[in-house]
Chain A
Amino acid sequence: MQPSIDVSSSPADPMTPRMFRVLRNYNDTADCYTLSLQAEDGDPLLFAPGQFTMLYAFGRGEVPISISGDPSDPGTLIHTIREVGPVTQALREVKKGGLIGVRGPYGTAWPVKEAEGNDVVFVAGGIGLAPLRPALYQVLHRRSRFGKVALLYGARTPNDILYRDELEKWRSRFDMQVEVTVDRSQAGWRGHVGVVTRLISRTGFDPVNTIAMVCGPEVMMRFAVAELTGRGVAQEQIHVSLERNMKCAVGFCGHCQLGPAFICKDGPVFVFPEVKRLLSIREV
């Protein structure tokens, strides 16, 4: 299991949010937007890639959202959010200069340090690219410490592709492979069409020395793990990020419990064998 990062920058009461001001709030796609925040007290929010915060839209409620910015720039707190319900809608409506409450960071991290010396394969589906982006930044900052690096990203349609400019930039690097696919398309799109898992067989990596980090809808992660293990990557080398509804985010309330694990504390990033059985539990 990944070690939790010490939440030293949080106030003494883990349930009390810190105030953050919105620097920018812009649309990435029709239903996704990115919030760029700065702490009112001026203290940066140090985090490890894969960790999340609880974002509080005043008067509406609080939701867990992964940090999607660069860990080496903790002065600006970035989250990319998909609008799915009341709280994510309320957060979208907070304008530049508005205030949002933030608790955290919480949870376990992607194994970037562990991955040094190995090939690294990121497999992202939909909004799952957001929680992976900090790990990708970290790998690219220390590029020489890793073998081959590949980002395989699947979106629903070409209009749903996140971080287009950055994907272009990464794709133009000579030291990483970037493949983007969409599940459905019409004329005009010249990229891949098909599910993200099909990209795995097109990617050059050494299965024995590869760390895979997978984030997206759970069904997609199951198929991705099957494809990776089919290529010879051991389950212990595959890491996934899970999501469940949360309330306290600090292991008190049991809201996020999945089998014996509390997603907020033991996750959200797990090494696959830890959650293999849980991933196939049908929830009621």
Chain B
Amino acid sequence: MDTLQRILTSHPFFEGMWADHLQIITGCATNVRFEEGDYIFRQGEEANHFYLIRQGKVTKEISPPQSEPLIVQTLEEGDILGWSWLVPPYQWRYDARALTMTRAIALDGACLRNKCEHDRELGYELLKRFSLTVSRTLDATILQLMDVYAAID
């Protein structure tokens, strides 16, 4: 098993995944590194990847017109960054920036989409895992939107 596959195998996101599926996924994976302040991707750009963060801290930022970017979430070791590669029109909806030096595994979305089209079982496995990530993010977003610590008028 090569280093990349070993990293993927030990990541909670891929826990319990069949070895042959992991091998296919590893074929779409590369090791990446971002320096502090680097943009990992920008809002509106084509979404070609998702990332398993191995080390460091990443901010998800929204830039409202004529005002400072708003940091909506930080992601860290063990987190998954991005699912826009999975849903048309495959475009990022926010900026992602390395707050500190960040190491990650980048997974090529176009490559994975293609593999999933040919191996529906792999596609189902990946979708199950992403659904969990999306649903947890949605829960957190609902709580964030409720602004529970705000002053009561």
Contact = CB atoms under 8 A, between A and B. Distances in A.
Nearest to A157: B149
Interface string A173-206: 0000000000111110111111101100010000
A220 interface: yes
A216 interface: yes
A181 B147 CA distance: 14
Given A186-B68, A190-B100, 4 more contacts: A84-B152, A185-B70, A194-B144, A195-B144
Given A197-B143, A219-B143, A184 B70 contact: yes
Contact of A187 (B57, B71, B72, B74): B71
B149 A125 contact: yes
A27 to B, nearest CB: 15
Contact of B149 (A183, A198, A202): A183
B140 interface: yes
**A-side interface size class:** 20 to 34
24 contacts: A84-B152, A125-B149, A126-B149, A154-B149, A156-B147, A156-B149, A183-B144, A183-B147, A184-B70, A184-B71, A184-B72, A184-B144, A185-B70, A189-B71, A190-B100, A192-B74, A194-B73, A195-B140, A197-B139, A202-B78, A216-B149, A219-B146, A219-B148, A220-B148
Contacts of A193: 59, 71-74
A202 B75 CA distance: 11
Contacts of A81: none
A81 to B, nearest CB: 14
B44 interface: no
B12 to A, nearest CB: 9
A160 B143 contact: no
B76 interface: yes
Nearest to B141: A195
A202 B12 CA distance: 12
B140 A186 contact: no
**B-side interface size class:** 20 to 34
The prevalent SS among residues of A at the interface is mixed
A126 B68 contact: no
A185 B59 CA distance: 10
Contacts of A197: 139-140, 143
B150 A156 contact: yes
Contact of B148 (A84, A202, A216): A216
B69 interface: yes
A186 B71 contact: yes
Contacts of B78: 202
A187 B73 contact: no
Given A184-B70, A184-B72, A187-B71, A198 B140 contact: yes
